[in-house]
């Protein structure tokens, strides 16, 4: 077994929120309905999987850390657009806001619907109760933490594809600081 060395991890190895407290991080296999891997520490989409996607857009989050540290990825289409997901759970009577034709009472769930609830992580309580909303997703949720661009295992092609699509170019300084500027497409000589 390889021990995690935070000093050798330029992504999540340092700072107040280091992955060292959890023994490091790994790339998780795709979750139910997704076709991309995610970071076990921050939930970031794998840079190689993001760079391979077409038509996505970066929606930048706030700059609460003083730099553009995260964006939400918009425009990732599911591979199976008919795959049902559990999109909601209510533990109380639906009232006027819930259309009963789209919600299923726990007592009426099929075995397949129970499996969907588990696969989507909507079964935290350990038992089925209340009402569940099922529908197909038109797009998938992903987020990208720009610190993953520091990973030395990434090719320059992958890094550039993400920077180009996000509109920013990052420069990581020796002391751990980062600078950024607008992505300017280089013109061939």
The answer on 88 and 53 residing in a single domain is no
Answer whether residue 47 shows pLDDT above 80. Answer: yes
Output 186 or 148, whichever has higher pLDDT.
148
Q: 70 with 163, same domain?
A: yes
Same domain, 92 and 58: no
- 94 Cβ partners below 8 Å, 6+ apart? 100, 103, 131
Instruction: Decide which of 66 and 30 is more confident.
Output: 30
Cα of first residue to Cα of last residue in the chain, in angstroms, is 49
Structural domain total, the chain: 2
Cβ neighbours of residue 56 closer than 8 Å, sequence gap 6 or more? 50, 73, 74, 75, 76, 165
Band the pLDDT of 187: cuts 50, 70, 90.
low
Q: Residue 45: is its pLDDT beyond 80?
A: yes
**51-110 pLDDT, tens per residue?**
999 999 999 998 888 889 999 999 999 999 999 999 999 887 776 655 666 899 999 999
Q: Is residue 188 part of a domain?
A: no
Residue 185 pLDDT: 76
For residue 172, pLDDT over 60 is answered with: yes
Residue 126 sits in the same domain as residue 150: no
> What is the mean predicted confidence (pLDDT) over 20-44?
96
Same-domain status, 67 and 156? yes
User: pTM for the whole thing?
Assistant: 0.87
Are 72 and 113 within one domain? no
The pLDDT, as a whole number, for residue 119 is: 94
Supply the pLDDT for residue 16.
86
| 125 and 165, same domain (yes or no) | no
What integer pLDDT is reported at residue 67 of this predicted model?
A: 87
CA–chain centroid gap for 153, Å, is: 20
Percent of the chain at pLDDT exceeding 70? 93
Degrees to nearest 5, angle at CA 149 with 25 and 42: 35
User: With 60 as the cut, is the pLDDT of residue 1 above it?
Assistant: no
User: Bridge partners of 73?
Assistant: 58, 142
Same domain, 74 and 19: yes
Containing domain of residue 166, as a range?
Answer: 6-78+139-182
Structure confidence at residue 26 (pLDDT): 96
DSSP structural state of residue 25? -
20-59 as b/e: b if 16+ CB within 10 A: beeebbeeeeeeebbebbbbebbebbbbbbbbebeebebe
Mean pLDDT of 102-122: 94
The C-alpha atoms of residue 52 and residue 189 are separated, in whole angstroms, by 27
- Tell whether 160 and 99 lie within a shared domain: no
Band (189; pLDDT cuts 50, 70, 90): low
1 domain-assigned: no
Structure tokens at 148: 């993953």
């Amino acid at each position: 077994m390889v021990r995690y060395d935070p000093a050798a991890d330029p992504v999540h190895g340092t700072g107040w929120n280091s992955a060292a407290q959890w023994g490091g991080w790994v790339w998780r296999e795709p979750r139910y309905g997704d076709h991309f891997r995610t970071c076990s520490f921050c939930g970031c989409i794998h840079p190689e999987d993001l760079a391979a996607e077409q038509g996505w857009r970066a929606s930048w989050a706030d700059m609460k850390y003083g730099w553009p540290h995260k964006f939400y990825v918009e425009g990732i289409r599911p591979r199976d657009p008919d795959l049902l997901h559990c999109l909601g759970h209510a533990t109380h009577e639906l009232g006027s806001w819930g259309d009963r034709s789209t919600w299923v009472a726990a007592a009426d769930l099929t075995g397949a619907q129970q499996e969907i609830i588990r696969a989507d992580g909507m079964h935290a309580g350990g038992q089925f109760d209340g009402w569940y909303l099922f529908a197909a997703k038109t797009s998938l949720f992903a987020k990208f933490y720009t610190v993953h661009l520091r990973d030395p295992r990434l090719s320059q092609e992958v890094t550039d594809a993400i920077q180009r699509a996000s509109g920013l170019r990052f420069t990581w300084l020796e002391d751990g600081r980062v600078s950024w500027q607008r992505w300017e497409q280089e013109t061939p000589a």
